Amino acid sequence: MFTIRSAHSEDSRAIQSLIHAAGINPTGLDWQRFLVVITPEGQVIGCGQIKPHRDGSHELASIAIADEWRHQGVGRAIIECLLDSHSGELYLMCRSGLKALYEKYGFQVVQEEDMPKYFKRINKLVRLLRKFSDKRENLLVMKRSPSAG
């Protein structure tokens, strides 16, 4: 039904398109860090990456699935493959409605005082922007320790 592989340079536009359609932060989209999910016809239908930050933290990020392929195991396959490839601490940012999903993979909510610098900055920025928004969901920062999973 689909396969997962490391991204190639020609996958860059498809990755950007999936990220844009999902409304995900488009910064740090280095195709060389991505895994992509491919149909037998060669169509890129999903992607994800482990994104390193200057403060030394790593983030499970940019998980995006084409609408017509949602709820068919594509996201789960990407997440599991990325988690298998990273043995250290791993952070993520997600909407509060996704908390239970990521808890299944061993992630736990991190309080601001325990966040690496990158996540503290983003968390503060999101809180500031929320003051001008009517969105009801919060942004969560979650962490998976090496012994989790």
| Alpha helices per DSSP H over the chain | 12-22, 74-84, 99-103, 117-130
Find the domain containing 112 and state its range: 3-144
Question: Which pLDDT score is estimated for 52?
Answer: 94
Would you say residue 149 lies in a domain? no
Question: Which pLDDT score is estimated for 21?
Answer: 94
Would you say residue 57 lies in a domain? yes
Domain count along the chain: 1
Question: Which pLDDT score is estimated for 146?
Answer: 85
Would you say residue 125 lies in a domain? yes
Question: Which pLDDT score is estimated for 33?
Answer: 96
Would you say residue 116 lies in a domain? yes
- For the chain, 149 residues long, give each residue's pLDDT as a single digit of tens: 899 999 999 999 999 999 999 988 888 789 999 999 999 999 999 999 999 999 999 999 999 999 999 999 999 999 999 999 999 999 999 988 999 999 999 999 999 999 999 999 988 888 777 777 666 668 899 999 987 65
Question: Which pLDDT score is estimated for 134?
Answer: 63
The strand pairing partners of 94, in sequence order, are 140
Would you say residue 123 lies in a domain? yes
Would you say residue 48 lies in a domain? yes
- State the chain's maximal CA–CA distance in angstroms: 47
Would you say residue 114 lies in a domain? yes
CATH of the domain at 18: 3.40.630.30
Cα separation, 103 vs 135, whole angstroms: 23
Question: Which pLDDT score is estimated for 138?
Answer: 82
Asked if residue 87 lies in contact with residue 79, where contact means CB atoms within 8 angstroms, the answer is no
Would you say residue 62 lies in a domain? yes
Question: Which pLDDT score is estimated for 149?
Answer: 56
